[in-house]
Amino acid sequence: MDENLISGFCTFCGSKVINDKAVVGNVKVTMDRTPEVVNTLKLAKHAMFDGDAYLAESLLNKAMEMNSENSDVWYMDAVLDKKNKSNDLKRASMYPSLGVFSLDDVQSFKNFNSKNETDAVFIVVVILAFFSIFASIPIGIIMEMWWIIPTIMIIWAVIGTFVYLYIRKKRNDVPPEPTDDNEVLSRIGEEVANKKE
């Protein structure tokens, strides 16, 4: 790149290169990775709409490695990492936005559960129910306490109901993904036109 130019493009990867000091001598060259950060944040946001917290976290970490000096990464981190939410919101206020994730998105994802502990609760209850029911059958037969088998089954039915209600309460409350109305209307128009043919 010519030393007198302010910016140019990398001949290998096509990324925009900015020449901070367009003078002969002390030249500092930086790469503008903003388009990559924006695309990575959009993918992370789509993963959040899908309820996939693990993918969203890995994409967010990748975006933070590329450029952590924007508010979008810190707002998204406030949703995914609840224990540092207040610090992330403070950091977000210090940087400009890229327009992908804002404070409004933080509010709409306020019930997003990035750590899915409900899966572990469900697995533990199923394992305990399985073993206790099958352990009660030989005990009931050998000790001639037939009443123990249906009693254990009823107890696990009640416990299962409470676990189901707990899991339902703790599930991710993800807002619906916004769609472009014009795009949806054009697709509907195409479908109607195809049906007429």
DSSP, residue by residue, 139-196? HHHHTT-TTHHHHHHHHHHHHHHHHHHHHHHHS--PPPPP--HHHHHHHHHHHHHHHH
**Higher-confidence position of 9 and 19:** 9
Beta strands 7-9 and 29-32, pairing class: unpaired
Helix runs in the chain, H state only? 34-49, 53-66, 71-80, 85-94, 103-108, 117-142, 148-170, 181-196
Q: How far apart are CA 115 and CA 82, in angstroms?
A: 10
**Higher-confidence position of 50 and 177:** 50
The confidence score (pLDDT) of residue 184 equals 46
Q: pLDDT category, 9, cuts 50, 70, 90?
A: confident
Q: What is the pTM of this model?
A: 0.57
Q: CA nearest 109: which of 86, 62, 83, 75? A: 75
Q: What is the pLDDT of residues 40-95, one digit of tens each?
A: 999 999 888 887 888 999 999 999 999 889 999 999 999 888 888 899 999 999 99
Q: What is the pLDDT of residues 118-146, one digit of tens each?
A: 677 778 888 888 888 888 888 888 888 88
The confidence score (pLDDT) of residue 75 equals 93
The 8-class DSSP code of residue 32 comes to: E
- Give me the chain's average pLDDT, please: 79
